[in-house]
Amino acid sequence: MKNQITNAISDFFFEYETPRQVLVRNRRVGVVCRIIQLGVLAYIIGWVFIYEKGYQSTDIAVGSVFTKMKGVGYTSINGSERVWDVADYVFPSQGDASFVVMTNYIITEGQKMGKCPELHGKHNCSSNADCEGGSFKRQMTGECVKETKTCQVLAWCPVEDDLVIPDPPMLMSAENYTLFIKNSVTFPLFGVSRSNLVEGIDAGYISKCLYHPENAPLCPIFRLGDIVKLSGFNFETIATVGGAIGVVVDWTCNFDVAVTHCKPKYAFHGLYGNPTETDKARASVGYNFRYAKHYMEDSIPKRTLLKVFGIRFDIIVQSLARKFDIIPTLTAIGSGVGIFGVATVVCDLVLLYLLPKRAFYKNMKFKYTDTHAQQDSEWLDLETGDCCPFDANARQGQGTGQTDDPDSEAGSTETDVSKK
């Protein structure tokens, strides 16, 4: 038992096994094999290493966005002039990555809580029975106002009339507003931090630059009219009913070169807002919300209601950094070497099942042994007490001039299948 364990350990550490290979001289199979291998090699080099950059590890940045609007709007309605600054037309005003710039509005001033008739065309009535309380969206008092033939409601009076949207938009001057974007990102895996105020972007440059995709691609100041144009929308249309635009700050960096080459790229996408261009199938077009400014007048609470139509800007930061790493490199190479086995599998299928001489190739590739004959021989050796059958076979082979090589024909008894 001890010798068996020792021999097993010795065989495990000091012996090496390798499969026997058959060299097939066949042009068609050889060409198929080389074509498949070339295809696998092209896949590994072209797709895995060049396109997918399988030799690099990747990381996604953690970042923040700060925005600031500048510009002044002017309106004159029925002789009433007004100037609109940033605090009036930006919602919210904290400089978030998502905000709305008001470009059009419907204003209802001097509203106070009370009872008043509904607008004509809404909740029309001919008697009080048509104005049962709670039967509509507004709180009804149950009284029909004969002068307007509409139901009386309990609401902020006078009620808002938003049937007609101003066209052209009230704040068409918003086209010339400017947007400043400040973005910082950090790639924690590589320990690299970057800002869109890259090398060469200082206070002097910012004071006079304006973004242009070709002439000033790194300038962080954008004109609203240019953003809308680059997103594929028409400014007057989107300013009238409102809409949404996505501003993408893309950080795609390769840290195998100098970090200073890691610079942002800006892209602009119209999300929704142009009813005559890309939103024909939408049931509801544009973007609007209501905003109220409350105040007291003669101890009576009042408010000014604004239905705001504006452009919503969403600043979206996307990032992907790469750097050489030995682990993904070895993984990609190993998987590529494994794929080379496809050529062997395909060629074996062609040899064994498709070619006219498939029986010959199958006989060369596989060696068949007769299990029953081998068992009978072993039982015969046991009955005759021959403890060394292999030595006897070797001596017999020497006496008859045959070799004792186990790979030769004398080393096994072939079946009728192999002989065929």
Annotated binding-site residue? 290: yes
Question: Could you tell me if 287 and 312 are in contact, meaning their C-beta atoms sit under 8 angstroms apart?
Answer: yes
Beta strand 300-324 with 243-254 is: parallel
Tokens of 368: 């068949």
Annotated binding-site residue? 124: no
Concatenating the DSSP letter of every residue in 224-260 gives HHHHHHHTT--HHHHHHH-EEEEEEEEEEEETTS-GG
Beta strand 178-187 with 62-70 is: antiparallel
Residues in Cβ contact with 145 at an 8 Å cutoff, skipping those fewer than 6 apart: 117, 151, 152
Annotated binding-site residue? 69: yes
Q: Cα(7)–Cα(18) distance, rounded to whole angstroms?
A: 20
Question: Could you tell me if 160 and 42 are in contact, meaning their C-beta atoms sit under 8 angstroms apart?
Answer: no
382 CB-contact burial (10 Å; exposed 0-12 / middle 13-18 / buried 19+): exposed
**CB atoms inside a 10 Å sphere around CB 394:** 14
Helix (H) or strand (E) holding 292: strand 288-297
Annotated binding-site residue? 182: no
Burial 43-56 (b: 16+ CB within 10 A, else e): ebeeebbeeebbbb
- Closest to 210 (Cα-Cα) out of 252, 243, 179: 179
- Closest to 37 (Cα-Cα) out of 345, 362, 355, 350: 345
Omega cis (within 30) before 168: yes
Cα four-point dihedral sign 131, 135, 136, 142: positive
Tokens of 310: 């504006």
Annotated binding-site residue? 178: yes
Tokens of 224: 């609203």
For the chain, how far is it from start to end, CA to CA, in angstroms? 44
Cα four-point dihedral sign 102, 104, 108, 113: negative
Question: Could you tell me if 54 and 332 are in contact, meaning their C-beta atoms sit under 8 angstroms apart?
Answer: yes
Question: Could you tell me if 52 and 322 are in contact, meaning their C-beta atoms sit under 8 angstroms apart?
Answer: no
Show binding-site residues. 68-70, 178, 288-290, 307
Show binding-site residues for ATP. 68-70, 178, 288-290, 307
